[in-house]
Amino acid sequence: MNRRTFLKAAVASGTVLVAGGALAGCAANGGGTSAAAAGDAERVVGTAPVSFAEETDVLILGTGIAGMSAAMDPVEAGHKVMLVDKLERVGGESFIACGVMNVSGSKMQKDAGIEGDPEEKWKAYAPVLEKQGQTDDMEYKHHVYVYQTEWADRVAADYGGKFQPLADYKDTGAPTSMLLPEHGIGDMTTVLTPLQKGLEEKGATYKLNLRATNFIVDAEGTPIGVRFHDEKNDGTVDIKASKIIVATGGFSCNQEMVSTYVPSQQRLGPLTVNSMGEGHQLCKALGGSYTHMDMEANLMSDLAQVTVWGYFGPNVQVTPQGTRFIKEDQSHDSPTACYEGGFGYWWTIFDNQLINGSQKWNVELNMKNNADRLVGPFDTLDELAAAMNVPADTLKATFESYDAQVAAGEDAEFGKKLFLQSLAAPYYAMKHFPYRYKTHGGMKITTDGQLTDKDGTPIPNVYCAGSTVADSGSDLSPNAGSGLIAGKAVVEALKA
């Protein structure tokens, strides 16, 4: 099936709409005639004729970190930029993320005396991808990696984004390749709100409560806009655009898509509620092609921020039976091991070292907001074990083994490197459950983020960013770098 035939079928199904008239604008009666433009394809019942309410140079679907990052270069180049979100607030799910950003060579790091170069880091990281068999799109992944650093520098210098001073944790043993928002883990408003407001000050506009439902194409099948459902007023809004960037997130909350593409995780609940894969489906209806859809999603605790504590302070993680099962200086391995081991849940045990450490703000926040998951403080492991409902002898044996490895200076059991330190009373523990977090399957794209069909042929005017793109990394910074790629590409395309 060639592209024209495919689009005819898409138009007939109502998944793609056609604007009537040679200029792909509004017809004399205020609407287009899809039948004339689609080769006499009948219009599906329930689809109103196209009638553009507004027009913009760049239309961005999604206002999370990828969408806002994609807006930076176009708005700074003087283009009219509109960001649209189905929610009634800006930020998507990025505002509630842990906020760990893996960046190398930023000005903030250099000012703190931490040397690094994104190109050198990429040379070290590329073999890891090759070992994992992820050798396609290497040039794109390289750009994502490098642009993460550019993004961090620009957000701080040009938009007033606030990051936690590295002096707070650089000498504690925590990774200095990680940037955090101002108050530490979970404080993304101090980075993204300045970016949001800065984009507005530069001329970008935001439209909320609009859910993208269809691409709109002209008589030749070229995408020229998007139809939205007005979630607040239960109406239809058509917006015309020269370039469209799809940054709508992953599909971890779409049970049907997860069951189809990642069936091994279909019985896990989603951590968030809005990642429905709508951008994926829109792009596929236009002729785009899925890739890496069978890559398993990252797993995370339902107390996602607590799983990140191991990067910044000591803790011991145990099964419901009180046995240690994982190295604690990571975030995604614990929920994965819990799920694969069939534990159902697990515990993070910690002490005042975390409470008074570099992530004090977040630790106190989670202890307060998740009091129903918290036990402690307790002066003995016997009391702690009773509160956790685990065998006291088992828990004490676990700590004896752990303390012996601390004394030896090596975690021979699991290989923990960061914060291999003993805990001391008073003890606390928080209970976790594993959830699906971030899917990795997405759209096939060119090196500059343009959507392609299954043969790799670019689809005009449509670009993808963030988790709409296949294998977009595990933290926020790759999504930001991906957004920059799409934004830069759009600026170049608008020069033509």
Using DSSP, state whether 19 is helix, strand or coil: coil
Tell me the angle at which helices 138-159 and 118-131 cross, rounded to the nearest 10 degrees. Answer: 140
Give CA–CA dist 493/275, Å, rounded: 29
What is the residue-wise DSSP string for 99-136? --EE-SS-HHHHHTT----HHHHHHHHHHHHHHTT--T
> Can 54-298+439-495 and 303-432 be said to share one CATH topology?
no
On average, the pLDDT of the chain sits at 92
Give CA–CA dist 47/14, Å, rounded: 7
Q: How many CA atoms lie within 13 A of 26 on its CB side?
A: 14
Of residues 41 and 282, the one with the higher pLDDT is 282
Res 38 pLDDT > 50? no
Could you tell me whether strands 52-61 and 235-246 are parallel, antiparallel, or unpaired per DSSP bridges?
A: parallel
54-298+439-495: CATH topology is FAD/NAD(P)-binding domain (3.50.50)
303-432: CATH topology is Flavocytochrome C3; Chain A, domain 1 (3.90.700)
Using alpha carbons, select from 256, 257, 252, 263 the residue that is nearest to residue 435. Answer: 252
Res 34 pLDDT > 90? no
**Strand ranges in 150-201 using DSSP code E only, listed in sequence order:** 178-179
> pLDDT category, 24, cuts 50, 70, 90?
very low
- The pLDDT score that the predictor gives to residue 43 is 63
Give CA–CA dist 283/244, Å, rounded: 11
Residue with tokens 């091991």: 337
Domains in the chain: boundaries: 54-298+439-495, 303-432
Determine contact, residues 427/251, Cβ cutoff 8 Å. no
Q: How many CA atoms lie within 13 A of 466 on its CB side?
A: 31
Q: Residue 337: in which H helix or E strand, if any?
A: helix 333-341
| Lowest mean per-residue pLDDT among 38-42, 145-149, 265-269 | 38-42
Answer left, alpha or beta for residue 173, where phi above 0 means left and psi between -120 and 50 means alpha: left
Indicate whether this model's pTM tops 0.85. yes
Res 22 pLDDT > 90? no
